[in-house]
Copies of this chain bind each other. A is one copy, B any other.
């Protein structure tokens, strides 16, 4: 963990640090990415996990519209650009060691490409897995105009 995050551990509420210091010290992985968890701000539902690089995080903080880094497409991914199901940013937090983001968002419609509200629909138990939510929208409709 970086010295910057080590110092923040014992700092009281209200302690400030410049954004450039934080982003220089954050725990980006070897690909320059970190996981970002999106949580619906009012219901508390965890919607999805995706990846951000420094550029996508800065854009998100500046514009208030969530932008990830698509590992499969190798480019910035402005959530909703093909589905219309965008995420507006309410708050963003880094964790104690600066390598994971938690985004509080207002999600329009389904967050998941399957048309479900949340990506977390495969419930596990000690014997198997069960699909435990249905699509809000047919996924063929979701991407029909893109």
Contacts and interface: CB of A to CB of B under 8 A. Distances in A.
Interface of A: 5, 8-19, 22, 35, 37, 39, 43-46, 48-49, 57-58, 61-62, 91-98, 100, 102, 112-114, 116, 119-134, 139
A139 B102 contact: no
Contacts of A114: 9-10, 96
Contacts of A58: 126
B61 A49 contact: no
A2 to B, nearest CB: 12
A16 B129 contact: yes
A138 to B, nearest CB: 10
Nearest 5 interchain pairs by C-beta: A44-B44, A93-B120, A95-B119, A94-B122, A102-B120
A129 B131 CA distance: 39
A93 B123 contact: yes
A102 B134 CA distance: 18
Nearest to A46: B102
Contacts of A44: 39, 43-45
Nearest to A122: B94
A15 B61 contact: no
B15 A131 contact: yes
